[in-house]
Amino acid sequence: MNAHPDGGRSGNALGAGDIPQMNWDQTGPEMKMVRDALFRHVGKPVRRKEDHRLLTGKGRFTDDFLLEGQTYAAIVRSEHPHARIISISADAALAAPGVLEVLTGADMVQDGIGPLAHNPLPSTKFDMKLCAPGGGIPFVGEHHALAIDKVRHVGEAVAVVVAETPGQAADAAELVEVEYEALPHVVDSAQAAAQGAPVIWDEVPGNVFVESSFGDWDATERAFATAAHTVEADFHVSRVTAVTIEPRAAVAQYDPETGRYELFAGSGGAVKHKGELARCFGIDANRIRVHSYDVGGNFGARNRVYPEFALVMWAARRTGRPVKFTATRSEAFLTDYQGRDLRTKVALALDADGKFLAMRADNLSNVGAFCVSLSPLSKGAGLITGSYDIPVAALRARAVFTNTMCTQAYRSSGRPEVTYAIERLVELAARKLGVDPLELRRKNLVHPEQMPYRNAVGQYYDSGEYEQNMDRALELFDWDGFAARKDEASQRGKLLGRGFANYVESSIGSPKERAEIEVFDDGRIEVVIGTQPSGQGHETSFAQVVADMLQVPVERVFIIIGDTDVVSVGGGSHSGRSMRHAGTVMAMASAELLALARGHAAEMLETAADELAYADGVFHQRGTNRSVSLQDLAARLADPLRVVTDNEMHTPVFPNGAAICEVEIDPNTFHVAITRYVSVDDVGRCINPMIVHGQTHGGIAQGVGQAMWELCAIDHDSGQPIAGSFMDYGMPRTDNMPFFISEIAEVISPTNPLGVKAGGEGGTTPALATVTLAVLDALAGMGVEDIAMPLTPQAVWQAVQDAANTQAKK
Amino acid sequence: MQEVTLRVNGEDYTRKVEGRTLLAQFLRDQLRLTGTHIGCDTTQCGACTVLMDGRAVKSCTILAAAADGAEVQTIEGVAEGERLNFVQQAFHEHHALQCGFCTPGMVMAATDIIRRHEGVLDEMTVRRELEGNLCRCTGYHNIIKAVLAAAEVYRRSKAPAQATAN
Ligand code: FES
Ligand code: FES
């Protein structure tokens, strides 16, 4: 890799002074009390409030809603990766039974509906800032709900058919005739970035629309020039998709009298979607009400608005009837926002003792046909050096358009990619130097005394005890017992391998959150909050937090989410932000509520506020038997006992940990079985360990899934996606997953009053690396040095053949 | 259109259906029993699993017309009033659900497995037999634990009085 042409530097220029060193106890007596009270429910595996409805079939998922007079939409999709639309004929479809409307991109333009307002550039103070090549704001491409003049990926929506029944809509969609003029296409990021590639957007002749550099290029250059050792590698972290088991869906209605749209669509944040859809329709946000209740999985894919959300709203207005769209699984495979697809060239310079001196990285993100999100590229950019103390680094981060479905943040956006790169690179370095890879890691880890630690690209790691995570993981794994297990396996003719990885990740996310807390006269406490769970159990863990702070039973606290007429502000759930942001604002709101209640209680008891002690939901006047509870106050006050608290918090946190995978390979069938998996995760303060472990398990499965089976395969010649169903997209299943050994480490973060980091993505982040390294370890005796994901039997067989051929040639 | 009569969760329903209507669609759209979920179109996710004449079936694989006369149990018919049954309770205790979308199918499939094996189950058997039900959230860890725990409850409840008496 060559130095960046201008040798320049861009991106973050934050000084240590920008990192607030908070002393939360100084934020007022109520906050101190709230923090002191924190530990009654918090930290306990309280069973979930949401389970009962979900276990009895009473969940409210999007497709469960049936609106009066509901009709159904089916989408006509492009079969070309890249083509100009010559004409669309809807006559036959319109004449088909039950059809009410057929709409195209031209109609959409006529009705003044604009592109989806994705806002793809990460923009909080601590995000790695990305710019266009040569500087400036990148051109991101207009993502219209229906293609207007040309299609840029297979599956892009071209027309929408509305009919009385889903069957009639699907039948009629087949009758819509679209004439295309096929254009040359490109699906691979490296090919798209190369000279002479087909151009996807006329505005970006070379397809590369983001190019930023970070770190200290000159210092890195110098370090590499004089280093005793250097290693380099070139990886492609493959494209996968979220596969939420609930396919995406949306149903909308329009009220011509009030001019209001009502949309039911499960997502990662109804408030955000409301705002973005208002921009798309060019209307005031209060003309849209979005409902998002039970959501059958998100993992990032549902954080962004889908074209069909706008289409059902628009079609509902046009037809005067509610319109529903529910994706089939094939449509989900084709057009759910996908994940990863990063090419990364990395290099590491070491001194003679194995101390890391410098790192280079050249990252290229495949965003697909439109830029929906640059989060993966940006997140990964900040963490290229992983858990290691690498004094200087030089990074070039680029993003490129291709004729593929758009990518978006997918579980642990951007972090598994760079963790995979650094951990594999460290392993290569250990091999080159002939040292124990674990010792090499230990020698270079960031140590607790260095916290907060500024890494070579300018991110500040808040806290963590990385070596302790390592030790604990090794112990839980029984690392020392491996040799005996390997012997035993080899007696059965099997190859055993183990793969270790450290990881650190960042949780930044949308900075604003609001909490409203109201106490009712029946003792019920309602908390309105703008995060959006999809299985993370917020109704339970958030209730635990508020119950602790207000010192009331958790059964009395109810979390209200998902209706934008009730929830007015909220950043949604992404980037592991929910507990930290919601927890903080709920702590502040609890403190405010107690302060307000104390004033009222003092008035009511005719005493001074500081004469009151508060415990178990009751204010007592000291030295008397006079008292009043929150519930009494709510019953006796004329006005509601209610507070609304806003908070804005930019400081990121850095969850971290270590994980180890053991695999057993059958040398006859090349089948790989996961036999052991250990994960140690520092999530900061853990509110509900049962929920956090559950998040870890699911996270591991998603990471292992990508390493082992999952792949959004695309045929380069035809541009056709070839994984369109569960028959051709390998999934983690009960019979290919082991039990996991997970442990939570709680190094309290100084950046927020609860000390929360984040749980939920740590299972995924190191897993691509651990599984791959385990397979390479098992195959080391056969001379295999590299293998690309997914590690299917065929891939393993191929790697073994290639290694044998290489050795034969030597 | 064809008329069918099904006994669902103990009640008889007679409805007209199109020839192509799947049992899963019939339950959801015509009977409004939306606890039965649809997660795929190739009979591979198991979200739609119900018990038909006592056996677990993927209701997206069966035409409503072909189910005429059958007795069907869906997730809505499992609890006794507000009280979760032993499988549901085990799922709750063991945190075997996150988003809950796969859950109805998991509970119905697990019920069938537990009954067929009379509650005598080990990890590998559960893993093998539940392989047709996909979950994206849990990594299956807690689902397997819950099914094993429910099987144990079932086995005890069926054990001869003598065996439990001492
Ligand atoms: S919906 Fe029946 S198996 Fe997927
Ligand atoms: S709990 Fe979400 S798919 Fe199983």
Residues B74-106: tens digit of each pLDDT: 999 999 999 999 999 999 999 999 999 999 999
Contact A733 B47 (CB under 8 A): no
Q: Interface pTM (ipTM) of the complex? A: 0.96
Kindly identify the ligand whose nearest atom is closest to the C-alpha of A329: 1
- Asked which of B77, B110, B142 is the last residue of a domain, the reply is B77
Which residues of chain A make contact with B20, given a CB cutoff of 8 A?
Answer: 167
Same domain, B96 and B66: no
Q: Are residues B90 and B131 in the same domain?
A: yes
Look at phi and psi of residue A135 and say left if phi exceeds 0, alpha if psi is from -120 to 50, else beta.
left
3-state secondary structure B8-55: ECCEEEEEEECCCCEHHHHHHHHCCCCCCCCCCCCCCCCCCEEEECCE
Q: How far apart are CA A482 and CA A488, in angstroms?
A: 10
| Helix%, strand%, coil% for chain A, nearest 5 | 35, 25, 45
DSSP secondary structure letter of residue A660:
E
User: Mean pLDDT by 10-residue block, N- to C-terminus, for chain A (810 residues)?
Assistant: 36 40 56 68 86 97 97 98 98 98 98 96 89 96 97 98 96 98 98 98 97 98 98 98 98 97 94 95 96 94 97 98 98 98 98 98 98 97 98 98 97 96 98 97 97 96 97 98 98 98 90 92 93 84 90 93 84 73 89 94 94 94 94 94 90 95 97 98 92 96 98 97 96 98 94 86 96 98 96 98 91
DSSP conformation letters of A49-87:
TTHHHHHTT----GGG---TT-EEEEEEE--SSSEEEEE
Q: What percent of chain B has pLDDT over 90?
A: 93
Which B residues, 96 through 115, put their C-beta within 8 Å of a C-beta on chain A? 97-104, 107
| Domain count of the fold of chain A | 3
Q: What is the CATH number of the domain that holds B73?
A: 3.10.20.30
Q: Out of B43, B52, B108, give the residue to mutate to test ligand 1, the one with the largest number of ligand atoms within 8 Å of its CB.
A: B43
Is A694 in the B-facing interface, judged by CB distances under 8 Å?
yes
Q: Which residues of A527-555 are buried (b: 16+ CB within 10 A; e: fewer)?
A: bbbbbbbbbbbbbbbbbbbbbbbbbbebe
- Here the tokens at position A188 are 């691979």
Report the first-to-last Cα separation within chain B, whole angstroms: 60
CA distance A39 to chain B (A): 22
Residues B111 and B44 in one domain: no
Within this chain, do residues A667 and A709 fall inside the same structural domain, yes or no?
yes
Interface of A with B in 177-236 (CB under 8 A): none
Residues of chain A with C-beta less than 8 angstroms from the C-beta of B84: 52, 55-56
Contact A294 B128 (CB under 8 A): no
What domain count does chain B have? Answer: 2
Identify whether A218 is part of a domain: no
Are B39 and A247 inside 8 Å of each other by CB? yes
Single residue among B77, B99, B124 that ends a domain in this structure: B77
Cis check for the bond before A322: say yes or no (omega within 30 of 0). no
> B71 and B6 in one domain?
yes
Mutate which of A46, A48, A54 to disrupt the B interface (most B C-beta within 10 Å)? A54
Residue B135 Cβ inside 6 Å of ligand 2? The answer reads yes
Query: Atom of ligand 1 at shortest distance to CA of A726?
Result: 4
Measure in Å the smallest separation between the Cα of A242 and chain B Cα atoms.
9
How far is the alpha carbon of B161 from chain A, nearest alpha carbon, in Å? Answer: 30
> Residues B97, B61: one domain?
no
Q: How many CB pairs under 8 A join A and B?
A: 180
Judging contacts by C-beta atoms under 8 Å, the chain A residues touching residue B92 are 47-48, 51-52, 55
Q: Are residues B60 and B9 in the same domain?
A: yes
In a domain, B145, yes or no: yes
Provide the chain A residues 329-388 that lie in CB contact (below 8 A) with chain B. Answer: 329-330
A499 domain residue, yes or no: yes
- Asked if residue A420 belongs to a domain, the reply is yes
Asked if residue A238 is part of any domain, the answer here is no
A718: closest CA of chain B, how far (Å)? 24
**pLDDT exceeds 60 at position B109:** yes
pLDDT of residue A3: 36
Say what the pLDDT of residue B95 is: 97
- The amino acid at residue A475 is E
- Residue A781 sits in a domain whose CATH number is 3.30.365.10
Rounded to whole angstroms, the Cα distance separating A192 from A213 reads: 20
Residue B164 inside a domain? The answer is no
Top mutation candidate among B38, B75, B97 for ligand 2, by most atoms within 8 Å of CB: B97
Token pair 């806003």 in the structure block, residue? A646
| Domain identity same for A503 and A586 | no
Is position A241 within any domain? Answer: no
Domain match, B118 and B150 both: yes
CB neighbours of residue A154 within 10 Å = 26
Q: Kindly state whether residue B166 falls inside one of the protein's structural domains.
A: no
Q: Which residue in this structure is represented by tokens 């998002």?
A: A292
The closest alpha carbon to A297, from A406, A145, A410, belongs to A410
Task: Tell me the chain A residues in contact with residue B88 when contact means C-beta distances shorter than 8 Å.
Answer: 55-56
The ligand with the least distance to the CA atom of A55 is 2
A584 plus A623 within the same structural domain: yes
Residue A168 Cα, gap to closest chain B Cα (Å): 12
Q: Does A706 touch chain B (CB under 8 A)?
A: no
Q: Rounded to an integer, what distance in angstroms lies between the CA atom of residue A684 and that of residue A562?
A: 27
d(CA B160, CA A521): 51
On whether both A625 and A531 belong to a single domain, the answer is yes
- Give the phi and the psi of residue A694 in degrees, each rounded to 5: -60, -40
Query: Of A648, A679, A714, which residue sits at a domain end?
Result: A648
Taking the C-alpha atoms of residue A744 and residue A693, their distance in angstroms, rounded to an integer, is 8
What is the spatial distance between Cα B51 and Cα B74, in angstroms, rounded to a whole number?
A: 7
Residues B95, B126: Cα–Cα separation, whole Å: 17
For residue A240, what are the β-bridge partners? A339
- Domain end marker among A326, A354, A387: A326
Looking at the structure, tell me whether residues B51 and B73 fall in a common domain.
yes
Taking alpha carbons only, the member of A159, A174, A172 closest to residue A311 is: A159
Pick the last residue of a domain from A648, A681, A708.
A648
CB contact under 8 A, B103 and A54: yes
3-state class of A491 per DSSP? helix
Domain finish residue from B31, B54, B77: B77
Cβ of B47 below 6 Å from ligand 1: yes
Residues of A in contact with B107 (CB under 8 A): 55
Cβ under 8 Å to B: A residues 14-53: 45, 47-48, 50-52
Find the CB nearest B139 among A58, A690, A697.
A697
A215, β-bridge pairs = A394
Phi (first) and psi of residue A425, to 5 degrees = -65, -40
Q: Is the CB of B100 under 6 A from ligand 2?
A: yes
A70 min Cα distance to partner chain B (Å): 12
Counting from 1 in the atom list of ligand 1, the atom nearest the Cα of B60 is: 2
Does A353 share its domain with A416?
yes
| CB-CB contact of A655 with A762 (8 Å) | yes
In a domain, A207, yes or no: no
Residue A317 three-state SS: helix
- The answer to whether the Cβ–Cβ distance between A725 and B41 falls below 8 Å is yes
Q: Quick check: B88 and A727 CB within 8 A?
A: no
Do A667 and A800 fall within a single domain?
yes
- For the question of whether the overall pTM of this predicted structure is more than 0.90, the answer is yes
Cβ–Cβ of A55/B79 closer than 8 Å?
Answer: yes
Nearest to A202 by CA among A136, A149, A135, A146: A149
Q: Are residue A415 and residue A530 in the same domain, yes or no? A: no
- Please check whether residues A364 and A277 belong to one and the same domain: no
- Crossing angle of helices A307-319 and A270-281, in 10° steps, is 60
Let me know whether A556 and A465 are in one domain.
no
Compute the distance between CA of residue A784 and CA of residue A796 in angstroms, rounded to an integer: 9
Q: Note whether A533 and A590 are same-domain residues.
A: yes
Atom index in ligand 1 nearest the CA of residue B45 equals 4
Q: Are B147 and B105 in contact (CB under 8 A)?
A: no
Beta-carbon separation of A245 and B100 below 8 A? no
Least distant ligand from the CA of B40 = 1
Per-window interface: B 55-84 vs A, CB < 8 A: 74-76, 78-79, 82, 84
For residue A274, the enclosing domain spans 62-183+249-326
Q: Which residue has the CA at smallest separation from atom 1 of ligand 1? A: B38
Inter-chain CB proximity A535 and B47 less than 8 Å? no
Q: Both A475 and A516 in a single domain? A: no
- Cα–Cα distances in Å, from A107 out to A88, A314, A465? 11, 10, 58
pLDDT, position A37: 65
Q: What is the domain range of residue B36?
A: 2-77
Record: contact B136-A698, CB cut-off 8 A: yes
Total length of chain A:
810
Note whether A56 contacts B88, CB cutoff 8 Å: yes
CATH of the domain at B114: 1.10.150.120
Are residue A482 and residue A549 in the same domain, yes or no?
Answer: no
Ligand nearest to the CA of B104: 2
A344 min Cα distance to partner chain B (Å): 28
Residue A782 belongs to some domain of the structure? yes
B interface mutation test: which of A60, A72, A245, A731 has the most B CBs within 10 A? A245
- Is residue B108 a part of any domain in this protein? yes
Quick check: is A275 in a domain? yes
What is the pLDDT, as a whole number, of residue A650? 81
- Taken in order A153, A154, A157, A159, the sign of the CA dihedral is positive
Q: What letter does residue B99 receive in the DSSP assignment?
A: S
